[in-house]
Amino acid sequence: MNDTNILIIEDDEVLSAALKRRLEKFTFECYISNNSNDALLLCHQISPQIILLDMHLKQENGLDLIPLLRAAQPKTKIILITGFGSIATAVKAIKLGADDYLAKPVDTQTLLKVIKGEAENLHFERNLETDVSLTNESNTLSTDQIEWEHINQVLKVNEGNVSAAARQLSMHRRTLQRKLKKRPTFNMNIK
């Protein structure tokens, strides 16, 4: 049995059960919570290595739960999964403490790559070329820069397959190709 346990926080019981079955095929030990109170209780009880968090939990917002989960389990990898993806939401999730952000529907292979750390994180990782601070207001990435980073990370996860990346980003392939040709300039003045 895999020693990695995963807490799935999802209000759709059918979806959470299906996700649990998918992951248990790869020997992960999975637990399900359908609301924030139960999620926090389970988080303390099982100390999960991975948390898969839905952004919309009935009347609750999963974004509000991120700081509480991060405080309870500082070393746990938190992956926000949502059907209402946007660049602004992705940035907010990362700033609040999420490690990754995936848009629904997410295929099993992409999810496994992110869980196992085999894929580059889908959040906006700093690298030598774009070493900017997301928390320093004077060096915040512009919307174009964030979109560029997000598109390139999705493209990497899809191993350079533009059609697959376009499907995952819910955009037409030609639109994605045009966006890839326009590289925004990055502010390199780090304080």
pLDDT tens track for 88-117: 777 888 889 998 888 777 788 888 888 887
Alpha carbon distance 187, 183 (integer Å): 13
Residue 170 region by backbone torsions, left for phi larger than 0, else alpha for psi between -120 and 50, else beta: left
Identify the CATH number of the domain in which residue 48 sits: 3.40.50.2300
The percent of residues above 90 in pLDDT, for the chain, comes to 27
Three-state DSSP at 57 gives strand
109 plus 143 within the same structural domain: no
61 plus 146 within the same structural domain: no
Instruction: With residue 95 as reference, give the H or E element that holds it.
Output: helix 87-96
The whole-model pTM stands at 0.63
The mean pLDDT of 155-174, rounded to a whole number, is: 83
Alpha carbon distance 5, 43 (integer Å): 11
The mean pLDDT of 13-36, rounded to a whole number, is: 91
Q: Quick one: pLDDT at residue 118?
A: 63
110 plus 58 within the same structural domain: yes
Of the three residues 123, 138, 165, the one that is the final residue of a domain is 123
Q: Quick one: pLDDT at residue 136?
A: 37
Q: What are phi and psi of 31, to 5 degrees?
A: -125, 145
**What average pLDDT does the structure give for the chain?**
78
115 plus 138 within the same structural domain: no
Q: Quick one: pLDDT at residue 30?
A: 95
Interstrand relation of 29-33 and 60-61 (parallel, antiparallel or unpaired): unpaired
> Comparing 71 with 143, which gets the higher pLDDT?
71
Alpha carbon distance 115, 7 (integer Å): 12
| Residues β-bridged to residue 54 | 81
Q: Quick one: pLDDT at residue 77?
A: 94
Give the amino acid at 166. A
58 plus 132 within the same structural domain: no
Alpha carbon distance 5, 51 (integer Å): 9
* Residue 28: pLDDT over 60: yes
Alpha carbon distance 187, 180 (integer Å): 19
* Residue 32: pLDDT over 80: yes
137 plus 95 within the same structural domain: no
Q: Which residue has the tokens 């992409």?
A: 110
> Comparing 54 with 147, which gets the higher pLDDT?
54
Q: Which of 161, 66, 143 is nearest to 107 (CA)?
A: 161
7 plus 18 within the same structural domain: yes
What would the two tokens of residue 141 be?
């990435």
The percent of residues above 70 in pLDDT, for the chain, comes to 77
- How many structural domains are present in the chain? 2
